[in-house]
């Protein structure tokens, strides 16, 4: 996928994420690219030209979930709100039906999981961690803990307790997906690192809502949702920067990555790799556009490799 | 048992606008697609005007789902015609496209209409019931039926003359029966009056119905067909971010519980799959 | 300033904010309109046609502040980041030089104040509260407390302690300007209400940063800043809605208000009045545009008065 | 002691583009302002193309500050000419404006150039030193000086021919001395070489200097004038959100400590007020 118009020699984009080798630094954001549905829509051309260097699954839960009632989408200035509500087939159907095809994509697979209790997370981590073809597990911690009622991802103590209970269950890298809806995400990230997380990823969507233009109601069936897209990029960059400065485990940066320049901004802010979310909806090949654009941006800025940019500290 | 499904080239592609013109209250424009397959009737594309898509107030931001209304082969390319009803910033931009402008296209996506025999092995013919902008996919289906030698009758309803754009152009000299709510011509009232009359006079067990139009019309058609036990396929709408199954945003509630992704398992759905054709409406659910 | 093209009868837009009578529900956001500078640029036409029904001063501190080093601005997708750093002449120069002219604007004056200690706030509240022509005081609580090191606006306890120490010092309404950079702004708002606040205003800007496109540095002189404008509107609406549901004191809603429709969204989300910030930079008359547009939007939606919309609860 | 300051009508107003054309590497376009006063040389306007301002990627979002390069009276209106150097999305939009397009205008804003006697009671004449897009406000000032019978000499520097747009048009037949870094004509080198030569040969105590151009050039001019004790006024740039003192974003560090708002107390500043003309540069401070 080298752009024939690009000038200069090819730049080495290979990297790794806590032991997961990656041909390039661009993943998808969980829940923003369904590789199996995309294969149905685009056929095998998708596999020949898979847009991401690693694939992150949609978040799965122990039990199947139907997701939220409509409406689930609202377009906002330079962004969108979603209130999808984590529809997924549940752990066993995922393992039996989806996992096989997902391991055939030709890139490392990271499975995203969520539960509302530590035993729930443990069940997911053990089941997924025991399957062939899984390279890592992302822990989506934005759900309220059924025992404490607290949102796990908002409380350092909850994160510590969760990670300690999971750490012994798998040798796979555990990536904690942070919520942006806290005053100091770096405290959560530091707690995750101390308790054994191998990486953190951020940002998830920012709490948001929309009012129906024609009635006194919420537009979204669930009453509220999360904001993503270029509108949130400045917030994501600030959080990635604060978190990167606070931890030494790698950071997956996301939130409004749309092109090579925005990807480079995340790398300079401290991210090791980036993930593309909302932009996939605007362009199914966005992952490649970002990858190729990053190569171009590195070249323009005089970096001779990705590693050089990853190592450069922002002043 | 659904119709075969053309596969979209991976990604989006920049196409040129062939021509564009006003028709009734709507606008028709064509894109020349040099890469994609011939779409099936009822399929749709995700469109993004190149260059100046994002407009005042930061919208449109996402691409817009638009049904294909007509196709015609050109040497090494397909010409795709779209019928646009301007309701907001996205359709406004698309309606402003003129010859030579660029427009990104992804698709064709989704499950289109079935053939009558797939819905009812005894089916002898079809009735197409449409209204407003919903006539676009029906025009495609009518041509496909005619092409396969399947008899069909077309019933179209409009609020008034100003909202009946595209009929002559898309249905040409094929016979259509029209209803106008304001009585400006044809039958005065709803298109569902025409459908009821037709089903009452028919051996309805031998037909199938295809419908596309405003949610209230679709829901009335769905109920009538259920009452008369006539198989019906409805082309629905719902807000879509991606069109290819990535976002799970286009959920439509199913009778059997849960939701379908309309962009993957629709936009054409069987009447008996859904509890209501109005579920995608504001605040529904 | 009635738009001659507007259809329907005039709609009553008068309202009040915790005892401050207002001819309409549109204020300015603190720090986004300098009425004295505007008077210099636009002359007396400004006063004949003042765009806001109440004027909120830029935040003042006890000592003068020069503000942050440049760059202080960065344009973002549908928004902007500022890192202005609260330049202001300090309490005494403000009282001697600026306060007089500000009381001549012909609309109620709300003075915004900030300090990094309770005694600092007390000095500001006493001094400003003792002056004629001031209708209310807005407490900007986004600064770290010099004693606890905690950001006052992020901690319910800190807010309680601050309000309790200030409540006895003035009879003027005290409006607490909330920070959006917390998981649950409604908890802060509830603490403010319980400790005697008369109103809350939100949102202030969301923590954000920008990377210089041409070097490995932060674009902003201060390293980071705050995001505002239409990009943040969906977040602001969610917070206004959550806060309005949690308190019974009035809420001043802001964050990306640009026109009548967006103002109505805030009212329906529970705000009593709205404030216009960033949009003032795009159009100096934005306050009037919003006011006139709101009248139009109320009419279109079938409300016969502002009060009716204010009373309508969102389902 | 600054020049008198025309007052802007309150708000922004929609104006029509009179004409637009390319000139060298730049673009000139004119707006017909039926409401505002004649601006003073060195003042600027905040411009926002109507309709399609917000572009791909959500920018431009804020208005853009542009100096007025030339004015001409028309019956009941002022024609304002702007010289545009396309460096990003905002200037790109403005450069795309053509006859009849709408553009919102707020201003005139800021403090323009003084007259020589205001800077130096003994001043007998003035030297204008400009480069690149900075020639725009100097062209205005040169006309004002000529109009008041003040002798002035103009020194302009450019990287190359391609970046010398607007010179002939804005300075017409008035005498200018040109320097080109690439030696394509005139003096080969910097415009500051010409300035040094002129000051060395002059009774410099009797002149004043006005300058506008790239920060590095302005800083060189500022230092030279300080060395020669010649009063100098520099038209600076800094990122601006509002242009009328509302945002405090356009801070420029002052020699005496603290910052000025460039839109209120500038954009024309005295050389001795600022520590450096490069303080607004990336990462400065
Ligand atoms: C499969 C499919 C096929 C379609 N085929 C066609 C076709 O052939 N021709 C055609 O003209 N249309 C077609 N549509 C409809 C078309 O996609 C929508 O009308 C279009 O997306 C509206 O976009 P807009 O920006 O013009 O208006 P929007 O303003 O986005 O939408 C109009 C309405 O949507 C609601 N809305 C949703 N989000 C927002 C928001 N963020 N802000 C304000 N209002 C919002 C409001 O109720 C508003 O009145 C089809 C849709 C689908 C799903
Ligand atoms: C008083 C005054 C008078 C002026 N007069 C003129 C004039 O007569 N003619 C003229 O052509 N120009 C003039 N300018 C300059 C003009 O205002 C800027 O060039 C313009 O604002 C740039 O906007 P842009 O969108 O084209 O480019 P931007 O992309 O906004 O800016 C270009 C550069 O600014 C930086 N930058 C700032 N913010 C961002 C951002 N969010 N993203 C990326 N880069 C950013 C980058 O370094 C970039 O290279 C004047 C400026 C001032 C203050
Ligand atoms: C429609 C949609 C669905 C999402 N689903 C998930 C999910 O299942 N699990 C998760 O961890 N994040 C989910 N996210 C968050 C994204 O992975 C990503 O963190 C966020 O959207 C910010 O990136 P972006 O601005 O590039 O979209 C979802 C986002 C969107 C827009
Ligand atoms: C340039 C700028 C300066 C601001 N200064 C202040 C301030 O001094 N005090 C304060 O409480 N809020 C300040 N704010 C925040 C605004 O009052 C407002 O809360 C925020 O910008 C959100 O509204 P908006 O999106 O309409 O701008 C400032 C915002 C901007 C953009
Ligand atoms: S539109 Fe995205 S899944 Fe259907
Ligand atoms: S540009 Fe806003 S204060 Fe100067």
Q: What is the DSSP string of chain B?
A: -PPP-PPPPSS-EEEEEEEEEEETTEEEEEEEESSSPPPPTT-EEEEEESSS-S-GGG---S-EEEE--EEEEETTEEEEEEEE---SHHHHHHHT--TT-EEEEEEEESB-PPPHHHH-TT--EEEEEEEGGGHHHHHHHHHHHHHTT-EEEEEEEESSGGG-TTHHHHHTTS-EEEEETT-SSSEES-HHHHHHHHHHHS-GGGEEEEEES-HHHHHHHHHHHHHTT--EEEE-----SSSSSSS---EEEBTTSSEEEHHHH-BEEEGGGBS-TTTTSTT--
CB contact under 8 A, D57 and A230: yes
Calculate how close chain B gets to D48, using CA atoms only, in Å: 11
Q: What pLDDT tens digit does each residue of chain C (315 aa) get?
A: 344 445 556 899 999 999 999 999 999 999 999 999 999 999 999 999 999 999 999 999 999 999 999 999 999 999 999 999 999 999 999 999 999 999 999 999 999 999 999 999 999 999 999 999 999 999 999 877 777 777 899 999 999 999 999 999 999 999 999 999 999 999 999 999 999 999 999 999 999 999 998 888 999 999 999 999 999 999 999 999 999 999 999 999 999 999 999 999 999 999 999 999 999 999 999 999 999 999 999 999 999 999 999 998 776
Query: CATH assignment of B13-109?
Result: 2.40.30.10
- Residue D114 pLDDT exceeds 50: yes
Q: How far apart are CA A305 and CA D250, in angstroms?
A: 37
User: How confident is the model at residue B76, as a pLDDT?
Assistant: 82
Whole-number Å distance, alpha carbon B249 to ligand 1 midpoint, is 14
Q: How far is the CA of C142 from the centre of ligand 3 (A)?
A: 29
d(CA A15, CA A190): 23
Q: How far apart are CA C163 and CA C122, in angstroms?
A: 10
Q: Which pLDDT does position B202 carry in this prediction?
A: 67
Ligand nearest to the CA of D42: 2
Q: Where in chain D is the domain with CATH 3.40.50.80?
A: 116-280
Residue C215, min C-alpha distance to chain A (Å): 8
Q: A315 falls in which pLDDT band (50, 70, 90)? A: low
- What value does the mean pLDDT take over residues A264-272? 97
> At D76, is the pLDDT very low, low, confident or very high (cuts 50, 70, 90)?
confident
Size of the A and D interface in Cβ pairs below 8 Å: 8
Chain D nearest CA to B108, separation (Å): 25
Arithmetic mean of pLDDT, B201-208: 73
Q: Who contacts C4 (Cβ-Cβ below 8 Å, separation ≥6)?
A: none
Q: Which of A207, A211, A234 sits opposite C208 (nearest CB)?
A: A234
Q: How confident is the model at residue D5 (pLDDT cuts 50, 70, 90)?
A: confident
Tell whether the torsion through CA atoms of C79, C81, C86 and C88 is positive or negative. negative
Beta bridge partners of B66: B45
**B contacts of A75 (beta carbons < 8 Å):** 59-62
Is there an atom of ligand 2 within 6 Å of D85 CB? yes
Evaluate: CB of D241 within 6 angstroms of ligand 6.
Answer: yes
CA C229 to ligand 4 center in whole angstroms: 9
pLDDT at position B16, please? 97
CB C189 within 8 Å of CB A191: no
Contact B58 C77 (CB under 8 A): yes
Pair of tokens at residue B232: 């019906």
**Does C288 sit behind a cis peptide bond, omega within 30 degrees of 0 on the bond before it?**
no
Is the Cβ–Cβ distance between D185 and D210 less than 8 Å? no
Q: Is the dihedral of CA A100, A102, A104, A109 positive or negative?
A: negative
Enumerate the residues of chain D whose CB falls inside 8 A of the CB of residue B56.
Answer: 51-54
Write the pLDDT tens digit of every residue in A157-205. 999 999 999 999 999 999 999 999 999 999 999 999 999 999 999 999 9
B-chain CB neighbours of D104 within 8 Å are none
* A37 touches A64 (CB < 8 A): no
For A178, half-sphere exposure in the C-beta direction (CA atoms, 13 angstrom radius) is: 34
Element (H, E) at D142: helix D135-147
Decide: B250 and B240 in contact? Cβ < 8 Å. yes
With vertex at residue A170, the alpha carbon angle to CA A241 and CA A117, rounded to the nearest 5 degrees, is: 75
C239: left (phi over 0), alpha (psi -120 to 50) or beta: alpha
Which residue, among D11, D111, D243, would best test binding to C if mutated, counting the most C CBs under 10 Å from its CB? D11
Q: Which of A50, A68, A73, A213 best tests the B interface by mutation, with the highest count of B CBs <10 A?
A: A73
Residue A206 Cα, ligand 3 centroid: separation in angstroms? 10
N-term to C-term CA, chain B: 29
- Which residue's alpha carbon is at the smallest distance from atom 1 of ligand 3? B247
Q: Rounded CA gap, C300 and C295, in Å?
A: 9
Contact D245 C46 (CB under 8 A): no
pLDDT greater than 50 at residue D285:
no
C120 CB-side CA count, 13 A: 19
Contact residues of ligand 1, CB 6 A cut-off? A 74-75, 213-214; B 44, 60, 64-67, 82-85, 87-92, 133, 136, 237-240, 267, 282
Q: What is the 3 state secondary structure string of chain C?
A: CCCCCCCCCCCECCEEECCEEECCCEEECCCCCCHHHHHHHHCCHHHHCCCCCEEECCCECCCCECCCCCCCEEEECCEEEECCCCCECCHHHHHHHHHHHHHCCCCCEEEEECCCCHHHHHHHHHHHHCCCCCCEEEEECCCECCCCCCEHHHCHHHHHHHHHHHHCCCCCCEEEECCCCCCCHHHHHHHHHHCCCCEEEECCCEEECCECCCCCCECCCCCCEEEECHHHHHHHHHHHHHHHHHCCCCEEECCCCCCHHHHHHHHHCCCCEEEECCHHHHCCCHHHHHHHHHHHHHHHCCCCEHHHHHHCCCC
Instruction: Let me know: does A27 contact A20? Beta carbons within 8 Å.
Output: no
List ligand 5's pocket residues with C-beta within 6 A: B 240-243, 245-250, 261, 263
DSSP for residue A139: E
Report the pLDDT value the prediction gives residue B285, as an integer from 0 to 100: 34
Q: Which of A114, A141, A143, A289 is an active site residue? A: A143
Structure tokens at A10: 């090819």
| CATH 3.20.20.140 fits domain D116-280 | no
Does residue D88 have its Cβ closer than 6 Å to ligand 2? yes
Mean pLDDT of the D92-103 span: 96
Lowest mean pLDDT among B82-91, B180-189, D130-139: B180-189
Distance from CA of B58 to the nearest CA of C (A): 6
Percent of chain B with pLDDT over 90: 72
Question: What are the distances in angstroms from CA A145 to CA A31, A118, A126, A159, A229?
Answer: 21, 8, 19, 11, 28
- Residue A95 bears catalytic tag: no
Whether C43 has its CB under 8 Å from any CB of chain D: the answer is: yes
Q: Is residue C79 lining ligand 4, measured as CB closer than 6 Å?
A: no
Residue C268 sits at the chain A interface (C-beta within 8 Å) = yes
| pLDDT for res B282 | 42
C-alpha B153 to ligand 6 mean position (Å) = 66
Judge whether residue D2 has pLDDT over 90: no
Token code pair at residue D50: 């109507």
Residue spans of alpha helices (H) in chain A: 35-42, 45-48, 91-93, 99-103, 118-129, 156-167, 185-194, 233-246, 260-268, 279-282, 286-300, 306-311
Tokens matching residue A108: 């490392």
Whether C68 contacts chain B with CB within 8 A: no
Q: What is the pLDDT of residues D31-50, one digit of tens each?
A: 999 999 999 999 999 999 99
Question: Residue B124: what pLDDT?
Answer: 83
Say how many Å lie between the CA of residue C309 and the centre of ligand 4. 26
Judged by a CB distance cut-off of 8 A, whether residue A184 touches chain D is no
For residue A84, which of A277, A232, A233 has the smallest C-alpha distance? A277
Residues of chain B with CATH 2.40.30.10: 13-109
CA distance D245 to D283: 23
Residue D135 has pLDDT above 90, yes or no: yes
Quickly state the pLDDT bin for D73 (edges 50, 70, 90): confident
Q: Is C247 in the pocket of ligand 4 (CB under 6 A)?
A: no
* D57 near A CB under 8 A: yes
The whole-number pLDDT of residue C315 equals 64
**A211–C238 C-beta distance less than 8 A:** no
pLDDT of residue C8: 58
| Closest by CA position to C85, among listed C31, C154, C159 | C31
| φ, ψ at D105 (rounded to 5°) | -130, 130
Which residue in B106, D257, C170, D284 sits closest to A286, CA to CA? B106
For chain A, percent of residues with pLDDT exceeding 70: 97
Q: Ligand 1 test: best mutation among A213, A217, A225, A282, most atoms within 8 Å of CB?
A: A213
Q: Tell the residue number behind the tokens 């954001």, with chain if given.
A: A29
pLDDT given at position B201: 82
Quote the tokens at residue D189: 């080198």
Residue D49 has, within 13 A of its CA and on its CB side, a CA count of 24
CA-based nearest distance C129→chain A, Å:
31
User: Hey, what CATH topology would domain C15-311 get?
Assistant: TIM Barrel (3.20.20)
- Is the CB of C208 less than 8 angstroms away from the CB of A238? yes
Top-confidence residue, B55 or D35: D35
Q: Which residues of A touch D57 (CB under 8 A)?
A: 78, 230, 258
**Chain C residues near residue B283 by CB distance under 8 angstroms:** 315
Average predicted confidence (pLDDT) for chain D: 91
Confidence of residue D284 (pLDDT cuts 50, 70, 90): very low
* Residue among A290, A297, A265, A295 nearest A275 (CA): A290
Task: Report whether residue D130 contacts ligand 2, using a CB cutoff of 6 Å.
Answer: no
Interchain pair C67, D106: CB under 8 A: no
d(Cα D170, Cα D83) in Å, to the nearest integer? 9
Cα within 13 Å of Cα(C217), Cβ side: 13
C278 touches chain B (CB under 8 A): no
- Give the separation between CA A300 and CA A261, rounded to whole angstroms: 10
How far apart CA A139 and CA A200 sit, in angstroms, is: 9
Cβ–Cβ contact B248 with A under 8 A: yes
* Whole-number percent of chain D with pLDDT over 90: 71
Rounded CA-CA distance D251/C225 in Å is 15
Cα gap C249→C241, rounded to integer Å: 13
Q: Within its chain, how far is the Cα of B22 from the centroid? A: 19
B237 or B159, which is more confident:
B237
pLDDT tens digits for B133-174? 999 999 999 999 999 999 999 999 998 888 888 888 888 767
Q: Is the dihedral of CA C238, C244, C245, C247 positive or negative?
A: positive
Cis check: omega of the bond before B60, within 30 degrees of 0: yes
Burial class for D198, CB neighbours closer than 10 Å (0-12, 13-18, 19+): middle
The tokens describing B62, both together, are 């996402």
Decide if A315 touches C, using CB distance below 8 A. yes
Structure tokens at B125: 């013919």
The token pair at D14 is 């929609």
Quick check: B57 and C231 CB within 8 A? no
Report pLDDT for B1.
Answer: 42
What pLDDT sits at residue D112? 97
pLDDT at position A237, please? 98
The H or E element containing residue D194 is helix D191-201
- Put simply, the answer to whether B11 touches A221 (Cβ < 8 Å) is no
């Amino acid at each position: 996928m080298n752009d024939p118009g690009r000038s200069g020699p090819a730049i080495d984009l290979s990297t790794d994420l806590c032991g997961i080798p990656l041909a390039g630094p661009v993943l998808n954001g969980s829940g923003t690219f369904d590789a199996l549905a995309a294969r149905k829509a685009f056929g095998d051309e998708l596999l020949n030209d898979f847009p991401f260097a690693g694939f992150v699954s949609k978040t799965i839960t122990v039990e199947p979930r139907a997701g939220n009632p409509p409406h689930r989408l609202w377009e906002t200035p330079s962004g969108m709100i979603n209130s999808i509500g984590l529809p997924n087939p549940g752990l066993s159907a995922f393992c039996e039906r989806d996992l096989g095809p997902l391991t055939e994509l030709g890139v490392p697979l990271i499975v995203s999981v969520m539960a509302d209790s530590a035993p729930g997370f443990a069940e997911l981590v053990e089941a997924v961690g025991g399957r062939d073809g899984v390279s890592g597990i992302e822990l989506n911690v934005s759900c309220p803990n059924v025992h404490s009622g607290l949102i796990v991802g908002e409380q350092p103590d909850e994160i510590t307790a969760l990670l300690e209970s999971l750490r012994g269950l798998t040798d796979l890298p555990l990536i904690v997906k942070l919520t942006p809806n806290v005053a100091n995400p770096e405290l959560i990230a530091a707690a995750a690192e101390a308790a054994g997380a191998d990486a953190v990823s951020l940002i998830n969507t920012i709490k948001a809502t929309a009012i129906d233009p024609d009635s006194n109601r919420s537009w979204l069936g669930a009453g509220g949702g999360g904001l993503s897209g270029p509108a949130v990029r400045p917030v994501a960059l600030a959080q990635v920067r604060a978190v990167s400065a606070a931890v030494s485990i790698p950071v997956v940066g996301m939130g409004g990555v749309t092109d090579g320049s925005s990807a480079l901004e995340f790398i300079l802010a401290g991210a090791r790799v980036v993930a593309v979310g909302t932009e996939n909806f605007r362009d199914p090949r966005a992952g490649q556009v970002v990858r190729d654009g990053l190569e171009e941006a590195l070249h323009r800025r005089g970096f001779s490799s990705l590693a050089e940019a990853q190592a450069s500290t922002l002043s | 048992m659904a119709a075969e499904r053309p596969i979209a080239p991976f990604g989006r592609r920049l196409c040129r606008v062939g021509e564009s013109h006003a028709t009734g209250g709507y606008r028709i424009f064509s894109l020349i697609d040099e890469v994609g397959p011939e779409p099936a009737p009822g399929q749709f594309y995700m469109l993004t005007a190149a260059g100046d898509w994002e407009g005042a107030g930061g919208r449109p931001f996402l691409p817009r789902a638009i049904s294909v209304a007509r196709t015609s082969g050109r040497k090494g390319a397909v010409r795709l015609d779209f019928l646009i009803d301007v309701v907001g910033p996205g359709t406004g931009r698309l309606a402003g496209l003129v010859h030579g402008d660029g427009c990104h296209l992804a698709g064709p996506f989704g499950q289109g209409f079935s053939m009558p025999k797939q819905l009812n092995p005894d089916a002898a013919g079809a009735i197409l019931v449409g209204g407003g902008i919903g006539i676009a996919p029906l025009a495609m289906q009518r041509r496909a039926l005619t092409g396969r030698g399947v008899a069909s009758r077309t019933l179209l309803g409009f609020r008034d003359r100003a909202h009946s754009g595209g009929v002559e152009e898309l249905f040409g000299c094929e016979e259509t029966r029209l209803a106008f709510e304001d009585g400006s011509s044809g039958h005065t009232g709803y298109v569902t009056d025409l459908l009821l009359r037709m089903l009452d006079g028919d051996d309805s067990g031998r037909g199938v119905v295809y419908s596309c139009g405003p949610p209230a019309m679709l829901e009335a058609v769905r109920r009538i067909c259920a009452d008369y036990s006539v198989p019906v396929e409805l082309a629905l709408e719902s807000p879509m971010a991606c069109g290819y199954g990535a976002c799970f945003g286009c959920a439509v509630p199913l009778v059997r519980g849960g939701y379908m992704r309309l962009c993957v398992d629709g936009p054409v759905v069987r009447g008996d799959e859904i509890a209501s054709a109005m579920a995608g409406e504001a605040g529904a659910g």
